[in-house]
Structure 1
Amino acid sequence: MPSTKPRSPAPLYEQIRQLIVAALAAGEWRPGDALPSEAALAARFGASAGTVRRALDELTAAHIVERRQGSGTFVSTHAAPRQQFRFLRLVADDETEGFTRELLGSRRLRASADVARALALRAAEPVIEVRRLLHRRGRPVVLDELWLAERHFKGLNAELLATHPGTLYALFETHFGVHMVRAQEQLRAVAATPDAARLLQVPPGEPLLSVERLAFTYGDRPMELRRGLYCTNADHYRNDLN
């Protein structure tokens, strides 16, 4: 169990936030679990309830925990309906339909230099590559390619990917104990290659939105590199800025 006594010169609420994250990373509370009450956490960390509340406010803002009125504070989970597409910002112009998924394939291979660098892996370390299409209104709208370090996702295969009913991030939580808590994205405009055009059912050279995402678990450890090609003819990419 991580130390329960703050020791750094950072503000006390920040120290407590870090200790809660360390406990989450150690598996003390799993996604979907209820956290102890503010009074119990205050006693554990030797702080006031107000200081603990401030730490929980920070974790709530980062979507690491969520507060449910009348129920308490819970570890966020990608299995919850409101969290399922937290990192997918492609919004339908009519906002009436969700996504369906089509697995194109998965395979084990050695990490390329750029994948190894992004995921902080050893050179040529084994990774799992997954390719899939996301459909909306019966048409493909996103071509996804993603890479995961095999050592964190042993047993991930095409059958599991094809039969899991929820999102990939919910699958990672329930089967592999990996909870994605934040992501970095880089966006740019590209022209559809012949292969991408065929899969997305657009003309070669069609403008597409390229979105490269690096997703992290607790402790800012990179766990997934994803590169997506988004067709925005009838959809748009939305990012809410606070």
Structure 2
Amino acid sequence: MPCAAMRVMPKTAAPLYEQIRQLIVAALAAGEWRPGDALPSEAALAQRFGASPGTVRRALDELTAEHLVERRQGSGTFVSTHSAPRQQFRFLRLVADDEARGFTRELLGCRRMRAVAAVARALGIRTSEPVIEVRRMLHRRGRPVVLEEMWLPERHFEGLSAEVITAHAGTLYALFESRFGVHMVRAEEKLRAVAATPDAAALLQVAPGEPLLSVERLAFTYGDRPVELRRGLYYTNSDHYRNELN
């Protein structure tokens, strides 16, 4: 994106730092800076946007709070990436009561299908538009603890397959970022208690009717575009779901 175009501030009553924040987000969405890339210095951004370094710093503070960028002491500001260790499990909040670490993943299926009405509505696409459905199990301590289903618009994830997922050693969000250029920047979740159905109970190795935590997540990329609907059933007998409220 040409620098000159970026100096044109949106016609809005928003404070200058917010206008700069919006322009940086637009540049991220356009792919000017990729996940893991270093942003220009505050002085360079100030010159680019015709603002003071303090105003640019305020915009970067907002972006840091949104986890869109991260500050590294002595190194500068970088575009957040799900490949970074601190970001890998940003959206996974299941914490072990016994401090057990890490999950192993079992892929149960990956297929192309037509979006049913509820999935299409959540993702903002047409009913029957192609989506990719992924089903997997997360294990910890040698037993299944999360049963997940997710739906992704095929137009953003063309070529995603069981083989691609299996060959990737990191998280799915890191895969989506590196191979498909889709960076998840925020998510909305709905939680409720449910009873295990016979099918879910068999997969999670619990009794039918066992209490489970249902977590439905809608993940967004830049521009608040929904690109993933995920539904998980969490067995929390030895774990708990943790969220931080600021």
3-state DSSP class of the match of 1:202? coil
Q: Structure 2 CA distance, aligned partners of 1:4 and 1:138?
A: 55
Structure 1 residue 186 and structure 2 residue 228: aligned? no
Q: Structure 2 CA distance, aligned partners of 1:118 and 1:3?
A: 32
Residue identity matched to 2:173:
Y
Q: Structure 1 CA distance, aligned partners of 2:153 and 2:7?
A: 31
Alignment counterpart, residue 71 of structure 1, candidates 63, 75, 91: 75
Q: Which residue of 1 aligns with 2:21?
A: 17
Q: Structure 2 CA distance, aligned partners of 1:168 and 1:85?
A: 10
Alignment counterpart, residue 108 of structure 1, candidates 106, 112, 118: 112
Q: Which residue of 2 aligns with 1:6?
A: 9
Contact 1:5–1:46 (CA<8 Å) still a contact in 2?
A: no
For residues 147-194 of structure 1, give each alpha carbon's deviation from its aligned partner in whole angstroms, at most 9, with x where no partner exists.
000000000000011121000000000000000000000000000001
- Trace 1:89-104 onto structure 2 (pairs within 5 A): 89-104=93-108
Q: Gaps (5+ residues) in structure 1?
A: none
For residues 126-167 of structure 1, give each alpha carbon's deviation from its aligned partner in whole angstroms, at most 9, with x where no partner exists.
000000000001110000000000000000000011121000
Deviation at 1:96, TM superposition (A): 2.8
- Trace 1:203-214 onto structure 2 (pairs within 5 A): 203-214=207-218
Identity over aligned residues, as a percent? 82
- Trace 1:72-221 onto structure 2 (pairs within 5 A): 72-221=76-225
- Trace 1:49-60 onto structure 2 (pairs within 5 A): 49-60=53-64
TM, length-normalised to structure 2: 0.97
Deviation at 1:4, TM superposition (A): 2.6
Aligned CA-pair RMSD:
0.7
Residue identity matched to 1:43:
Q
Residue identity matched to 2:129:
E
Residue identity matched to 1:103:
L
Residue identity matched to 1:37:
S
Residue identity matched to 1:197:
A
Contact 1:132–1:145 (CA<8 Å) still a contact in 2?
A: yes
Residue identity matched to 2:127:
A
Superposition misfits of 4+ residues, deviation over 6 angstroms: none
Residue identity matched to 1:184:
E
Deviation at 1:3, TM superposition (A): 3.1
Contact 1:187–1:209 (CA<8 Å) still a contact in 2?
A: yes
Q: Structure 2 CA distance, aligned partners of 1:163 and 1:95?
A: 28
3-state DSSP class of the match of 2:100? coil
Q: Structure 2 CA distance, aligned partners of 1:209 and 1:70?
A: 42
3-state DSSP class of the match of 1:224? strand
Q: Structure 1 CA distance, aligned partners of 2:52 and 2:199?
A: 59
Structure 1 residue 32 and structure 2 residue 36: aligned? yes
Deviation at 1:122, TM superposition (A): 1.2
TM, length-normalised to structure 1: 0.99
Contact 1:153–1:176 (CA<8 Å) still a contact in 2?
A: yes
3-state DSSP class of the match of 1:81? coil
Deviation at 1:9, TM superposition (A): 1.5
For residues 59-79 of structure 1, give each alpha carbon's deviation from its aligned partner in whole angstroms, at most 9, with x where no partner exists.
000000000000000000000
Alignment counterpart, residue 224 of structure 1, candidates 201, 221, 228: 228
Q: Structure 2 CA distance, aligned partners of 1:38 and 1:95?
A: 40
